């Protein structure tokens, strides 16, 4: 009986080591120089609409943290810019600053289907956080604006998906069954 209790304690300890969800904040401050964002920066796909990082003071395009921030489509059509998430993720939002009138919002997609959208933010010289307005998983974030060159984005915040509690229950049950089977084999 003591061995069973010990085995269950080991299984519980292993389950407690499973990673907990924690937010990732891309500050863009680890980018070495101004220019296009690397295609897989932060584990995301930035190449669809040519996101560009830049540093240095340029009012009203203030960074929220550090010196770097990003923008897209200088001189391009003002409709939307896409950020692809490699795996489905919970997207919290990002900080925006820029010209008044360059209103920004998020459209959130999973598997090609629109699953959520944010409020509309009118940026200013003071960086302001725009929440995604959606707590579910997404694989694409579209930044919509009528004036893309009129804003910058900083501190892009998301959380990787974590397994449901049922997944941990199945893991524990499987490990328990493995221990039981191993014990029966040892007795035979």
What residues does each domain of the chain span? 21-163
Whether the CB-CB separation of 111 and 159 falls below 8 Å is answered with no
Helix-then-strand count for the chain, H and E: 2, 11
For the stretch 132-170, pLDDT in tens is 999 999 999 999 998 878 999 999 999 987 654 554 455
Q: Among the listed ranges 115-124, 130-139, 167-176, which one has the minimum average pLDDT value?
A: 167-176
Cβ atoms of 21 and 160 within 8 Å: the answer is yes
Distance CA 126, CA 64 (A): 8
What pLDDT score was predicted for residue 122? 97
Which fold would CATH assign to domain 21-163? Answer: Jelly Rolls (2.60.120)
């Amino acid at each position: 009986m003591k061995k069973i209790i010990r085995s269950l304690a080991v299984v519980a300890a292993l389950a407690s080591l499973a990673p907990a969800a924690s937010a990732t904040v891309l500050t863009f401050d680890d980018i070495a120089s101004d220019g296009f964002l690397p295609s897989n920066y932060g584990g995301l796909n930035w190449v669809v609409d040519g996101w560009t990082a830049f540093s240095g003071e340029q009012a009203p395009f203030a960074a929220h943290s550090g010196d770097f921030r990003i923008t897209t489509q200088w001189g391009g059509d003002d409709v939307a810019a896409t950020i692809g998430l490699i795996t489905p993720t919970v997207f919290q939002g990002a900080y925006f600053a820029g010209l008044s009138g360059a209103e920004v919002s998020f459209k959130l997609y999973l598997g090609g289907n629109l699953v959520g959208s944010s409020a509309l933010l009118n940026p200013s010289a003071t960086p302001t956080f725009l929440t995604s307005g959606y707590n579910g998983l997404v694989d694409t974030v579209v930044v919509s604006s009528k004036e893309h060159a009129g804003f910058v984005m900083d501190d892009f915040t998301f959380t990787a998906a974590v397994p449901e509690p049922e997944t941990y229950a199945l893991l524990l049950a499987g490990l328990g069954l493995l221990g039981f089977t191993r014990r029966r084999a040892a007795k035979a």
